[in-house]
Protein backbone atom coordinates (compact mmCIF):
# COMPACT_ATOMS: atom_id res chain seq x y z
CA UNK A 1 0.00 0.00 0.00
CA UNK A 2 1.38 3.40 -0.94
CA UNK A 3 -0.03 6.51 0.73
CA UNK A 4 0.38 10.05 -0.61
CA UNK A 5 -0.81 12.97 1.54
CA UNK A 6 -0.75 16.49 0.14
CA UNK A 7 -2.03 19.81 1.39
CA UNK A 8 -1.26 21.65 4.63
CA UNK A 9 1.17 18.84 5.44
CA UNK A 10 2.65 16.31 3.03
CA UNK A 11 3.75 12.73 3.55
CA UNK A 12 4.54 9.66 1.48
CA UNK A 13 4.38 6.27 3.18
CA UNK A 14 4.81 2.75 1.79
CA UNK A 15 3.42 -0.14 3.88
CA UNK A 16 3.96 -3.83 3.17
CA UNK A 17 2.06 -5.55 6.00
CA UNK A 18 -1.12 -4.73 7.95
CA UNK A 19 -1.97 -2.56 9.67
CA UNK A 20 -1.54 -0.15 6.78
CA UNK A 21 -1.03 3.30 8.29
CA UNK A 22 -0.17 6.69 6.85
CA UNK A 23 2.30 7.38 9.66
CA UNK A 24 3.36 3.78 10.20
CA UNK A 25 2.99 1.68 13.30
CA UNK A 26 4.98 0.26 16.20
CA UNK A 27 4.20 -3.41 16.78
CA UNK A 28 0.71 -2.96 15.33
CA UNK A 29 -0.12 0.28 17.16
CA UNK A 30 -0.68 3.19 14.79
CA UNK A 31 1.64 6.15 15.21
CA UNK A 32 -0.58 9.13 16.13
CA UNK A 33 -0.80 12.25 14.00
CA UNK A 34 -2.12 15.65 14.99
CA UNK A 35 -2.87 17.37 11.69
CA UNK A 36 -2.27 21.05 11.09
CA UNK A 37 -5.24 23.19 10.09
CA UNK A 38 -5.91 23.23 6.36
CA UNK A 39 -7.07 21.26 3.34
CA UNK A 40 -5.71 17.80 2.51
CA UNK A 41 -5.89 15.13 -0.16
CA UNK A 42 -4.98 11.53 0.71
CA UNK A 43 -4.52 8.82 -1.91
CA UNK A 44 -4.00 5.15 -1.04
CA UNK A 45 -2.89 2.82 -3.83
CA UNK A 46 -2.70 -0.97 -3.33
CA UNK A 47 0.03 -2.94 -5.09
CA UNK A 48 0.30 -6.63 -5.92
CA UNK A 49 3.84 -6.88 -4.52
CA UNK A 50 5.57 -5.67 -1.37
CA UNK A 51 6.78 -2.10 -0.92
CA UNK A 52 4.77 -0.65 -3.80
CA UNK A 53 5.96 -3.18 -6.41
CA UNK A 54 3.99 -5.22 -8.92
CA UNK A 55 0.78 -4.12 -10.54
CA UNK A 56 -1.04 -1.14 -9.06
CA UNK A 57 -4.64 -1.59 -7.98
CA UNK A 58 -7.34 1.06 -8.08
CA UNK A 59 -6.33 4.05 -5.95
CA UNK A 60 -8.75 5.61 -3.49
CA UNK A 61 -8.58 9.37 -2.91
CA UNK A 62 -10.30 11.38 -0.20
CA UNK A 63 -10.21 15.12 0.35
CA UNK A 64 -10.78 16.62 3.78
CA UNK A 65 -10.18 19.76 5.81
CA UNK A 66 -9.08 20.33 9.40
CA UNK A 67 -10.66 23.50 10.75
CA UNK A 68 -10.51 25.39 14.04
CA UNK A 69 -13.87 25.28 15.76
CA UNK A 70 -14.46 27.87 18.47
CA UNK A 71 -16.62 26.88 21.43
CA UNK A 72 -20.28 27.34 20.62
CA UNK A 73 -22.34 30.04 22.31
CA UNK A 74 -23.67 29.06 25.70
CA UNK A 75 -20.38 27.43 26.70
CA UNK A 76 -20.84 24.18 24.77
CA UNK A 77 -17.52 22.51 24.02
CA UNK A 78 -16.06 22.56 20.52
CA UNK A 79 -15.45 19.36 18.57
CA UNK A 80 -11.77 18.41 18.81
CA UNK A 81 -9.61 15.98 16.83
CA UNK A 82 -8.65 13.33 19.39
CA UNK A 83 -6.97 10.17 18.06
CA UNK A 84 -7.24 6.60 19.36
CA UNK A 85 -4.77 3.77 18.73
CA UNK A 86 -4.39 0.89 18.15
CA UNK A 87 -7.56 0.89 16.15
CA UNK A 88 -8.66 -1.82 15.60
CA UNK A 89 -7.80 -3.16 19.05
CA UNK A 90 -7.27 -6.84 19.62
CA UNK A 91 -8.19 -6.75 23.31
CA UNK A 92 -10.05 -3.49 24.04
CA UNK A 93 -7.00 -1.67 25.39
CA UNK A 94 -6.41 1.67 23.63
CA UNK A 95 -4.53 4.94 24.00
CA UNK A 96 -6.24 8.27 23.35
CA UNK A 97 -4.14 11.22 22.14
CA UNK A 98 -5.79 14.44 23.26
CA UNK A 99 -5.41 17.87 21.66
CA UNK A 100 -4.79 21.00 23.76
CA UNK A 101 -8.51 21.86 23.95
CA UNK A 102 -8.96 19.01 26.45
CA UNK A 103 -7.92 20.17 29.91
CA UNK A 104 -8.62 19.13 33.47
CA UNK A 105 -11.08 16.31 33.99
CA UNK A 106 -12.17 14.33 30.93
CA UNK A 107 -15.41 12.34 31.00
CA UNK A 108 -15.88 9.35 28.69
CA UNK A 109 -18.68 7.03 27.64
CA UNK A 110 -18.20 3.85 25.61
CA UNK A 111 -21.33 2.86 23.65
CA UNK A 112 -21.91 -0.37 21.73
CA UNK A 113 -23.11 -0.40 18.11
CA UNK A 114 -26.57 -1.27 19.48
CA UNK A 115 -26.59 1.94 21.53
CA UNK A 116 -25.97 0.40 24.96
CA UNK A 117 -23.69 2.39 27.26
CA UNK A 118 -21.11 -0.21 28.29
CA UNK A 119 -18.59 1.93 30.21
CA UNK A 120 -18.34 5.42 31.67
CA UNK A 121 -15.71 7.19 33.69
CA UNK A 122 -13.38 10.12 34.11
CA UNK A 123 -9.65 10.74 34.06
CA UNK A 124 -7.38 13.72 34.53
CA UNK A 125 -6.10 15.04 31.21
CA UNK A 126 -2.33 14.45 31.18
CA UNK A 127 -1.66 17.92 29.72
CA UNK A 128 -1.60 19.55 26.30
CA UNK A 129 -1.06 16.99 23.59
CA UNK A 130 -0.95 14.18 26.15
CA UNK A 131 -2.08 10.58 25.90
CA UNK A 132 -4.26 8.47 28.17
CA UNK A 133 -4.39 4.68 28.25
CA UNK A 134 -7.90 3.22 28.59
CA UNK A 135 -8.64 -0.46 29.31
CA UNK A 136 -12.01 -1.49 27.89
CA UNK A 137 -11.09 -5.19 27.72
CA UNK A 138 -13.88 -6.07 30.16
CA UNK A 139 -16.40 -3.88 28.33
CA UNK A 140 -15.69 -4.89 24.71
CA UNK A 141 -16.03 -8.70 24.85
CA UNK A 142 -17.21 -9.11 21.27
CA UNK A 143 -15.67 -8.01 18.00
CA UNK A 144 -17.44 -5.04 16.46
CA UNK A 145 -17.80 -1.28 16.39
CA UNK A 146 -17.99 0.80 19.56
CA UNK A 147 -18.32 4.57 19.98
CA UNK A 148 -16.20 6.50 22.47
CA UNK A 149 -17.47 9.92 23.51
CA UNK A 150 -15.06 12.29 25.30
CA UNK A 151 -15.83 15.65 26.94
CA UNK A 152 -13.38 17.84 28.82
CA UNK A 153 -12.11 21.39 29.06
CA UNK A 154 -13.35 23.24 25.99
CA UNK A 155 -13.65 20.17 23.77
CA UNK A 156 -15.60 17.07 22.93
CA UNK A 157 -14.81 14.19 20.59
CA UNK A 158 -16.55 11.14 19.12
CA UNK A 159 -14.27 8.25 18.12
CA UNK A 160 -15.19 4.94 16.52
CA UNK A 161 -13.34 1.98 18.06
CA UNK A 162 -13.03 -1.37 16.32
CA UNK A 163 -12.60 -4.51 18.43
CA UNK A 164 -11.31 -7.43 16.38
Spatial neighbors of 110 by CB under 8 A, at least 6 apart, are 117, 118, 119, 120, 136, 139, 140, 146, 147, 148, 149, 161
Q: In the chain, list all ranges with CATH 2.60.40.3080.
A: 73-163
Would the pLDDT of 128 be above 80?
no
- 17-65 pLDDT, tens digit per residue, is 888 899 988 887 788 888 888 889 999 999 999 999 999 999 999 888 8
Interatomic CA distance for residues 116 and 160, integer angstroms: 14
| Predicted TM-score of the model (pTM) | 0.54
Q: How many residues does the chain have?
A: 164
What is 73-163's CATH number?
2.60.40.3080
DSSP at 9: S
Considering Cα of 151, then 153, then 156, then 159, what sign does the dihedral take?
Answer: negative
Please state the rounded mean pLDDT for residues 60-72.
72
- For the stretch 85-125, pLDDT in tens is 999 999 999 999 888 888 788 999 999 888 888 999 999 88
Q: Could you give the 3-state DSSP secondary structure of residue 52?
A: helix
pLDDT score of 69 more than 60: no
Amino acid sequence: MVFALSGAQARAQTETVAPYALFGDTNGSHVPWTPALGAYKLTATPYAGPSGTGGAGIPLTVSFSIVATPAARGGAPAVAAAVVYPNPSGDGRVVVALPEAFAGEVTYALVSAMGARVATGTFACPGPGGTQALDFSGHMPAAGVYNLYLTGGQAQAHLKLLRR
